[in-house]
Structure 1
Amino acid sequence: MIRQATLSDLDHLIFLEHICFNSDRLSHRQVRYMLTQANGQILVAEQNGVILGYGLLLFRKNSKIARLYSIAVNPTARRKGIGEALVKESEIFAQARGSTSLRLEIRVDNLASLGLFHQLGYKKIKELKSYYEDGMDGVRLEKQFK
C-alpha cells in the first residue's frame, strides 16, 4: 500500500536513508522539515506495517514542474515493483497538484534506477558533472505528462 507519510514515520524514513545511501543523505532535521513545512509530499510504500520505501516530491510556487527529490527502497525489498509503484503514485500525485512534468536527478552509476525511469518514459535532459557529494556525475531526467 502506498500512502502519504506522517510525522510518526520519521524514524523509519531516516532508517531508509541510512541503509539506502552512502552519501547525500537527508538528515533527521531535513526529513522532519519535509514532513511538516516543505511545499512537498512524502509517499511511503508500506506492507504489514513496515515501510519498505519512500518517494519525496517537491513543488515550487508558480512552476508546473514537480521534482522527485529522493526515492529509496529497502535493499531487502528491491526488485518487487515497489520503486515503480512509488514513481507511478508520485506522478499521479504531481498531476493532481497541477504539474505538467516530473523531474529528477540520478547518479550515472545507478543502472537499475536509470533502467526503471527509462522504461517509465523519462528522458535525459541534462548531464550533471560531479553532481554528487562523492564527485559522481548525474543526469537530470524528465517526464512530460499528457
Structure 2
Amino acid sequence: MTATIRPATEADIPALVALEAGFPPEDRFPVRTWRRLLRGRSAAYVAMDGEDVVAAAVYLFREGTKIARLYSLTVAPAQRGKGLARALMAGGEADAAARGCTLARLEVRQSNLPAIHLYERYGFRVLALSQCYYPDGETAVRMEKSIAPEESLNT
C-alpha cells in the first residue's frame, strides 16, 4: 500500500461524497451529514493516493462508553485489495484505544459478503442479526472486535 492515511477535513467532503457513489442511495451520506461527522465526536480518516481520496473510514465515539463504532468504511473499486481498509481500521482502532475504548462494533448489510469476510479476517465476530435494520428492510449483521491497546498499535 502506498497511500497515505490522514484525518479527513471539510475540504475532503466532495471526494467523500463521490467515493460513496457505489453505495445504495439510502446508505450515502449527504454533504450535511459529512459536515456533522467532521465537527462532532467522530473521527474520520482518508487514504490518499497522491491528491486523490481513495478510501475513507468513520469511527463514532460516545462519552461514557468504551465502545467505538465503525460507522462507515469505503474503498474506491480500483483500490480494493491493496490493504487500505485494514490500514484505515488499524488507525481508527489505535485512536479508539487512545480514547480508552476496548471494543469496536459495526453493522453491515447481510448481502455485503465481501465486507463481512473482510471484517472477519480483521478479527470481528458476528454478534447478532438485526432484522429490517436498513431503510429498504435489509437485515444488518452486527459485529464486534476487541481492541486492546497492544493489538491496535501493532497491526
TM-score by length of 2: 0.88
TM-aligned CA deviation for residue 129 of structure 1: 0.6
Partner of 1:33: 36
CA distance in 2, matches of 1:28, 1:53: 17
**How far 1:7 moved relative to its partner?**
1.2
Distance in 2 (alpha carbons) for counterparts of 1:87 and 1:95? 12
Q: Does 1:24 align with 2:27?
A: yes
What residue is the counterpart of 2:151 in the other structure?
Answer: none
**Number of positions where the alignment pairs a residue of Structure 1 with one of Structure 2:** 145
* RMSD over equivalenced CA pairs, Å: 1.2
Shift of residue 84 of structure 1? 1.6
Aligned to 2:112: 110
Contact 1:20–1:73 (Cα < 8 Å) also in 2: no
What amino acid maps onto 2:61 in structure 1?
F
> Partner residue of 1:51?
53
Structure 2: unaligned runs, 5 residues or longer: 149-155
8 Å contact from structure 1 (residues 20, 74) kept in 2: no
Q: Which runs of 4+ in 1 moved over 6 A?
A: none
Equivalent residues in 2 for 1:47-126, closer than 5 Å: 47-126=49-128
Could you report, residue by residue, the CA deviation over 1:57-94 in whole angstroms, capped at 9, with x for unpaired residues? 10011011010111111112112211121111111111
Match of 2:16 among 13, 37, 51: 13
Instruction: Confirm whether residue 132 of structure 1 aligns to residue 134 of structure 2.
Output: yes
TM-score (norm 1): 0.94
1:110 maps to a residue whose letter is N
Q: For the Cα contact (< 8 Å) 1:20–1:75, is it kept in 2?
A: no
Cα deviation code 1:7-53 (max 9, x no counterpart): 111111111122344432111100011112x1111010111111101
Secondary structure, aligned partner of 2:119? helix
Query: CA offset at residue 131 of structure 1?
Result: 1.1
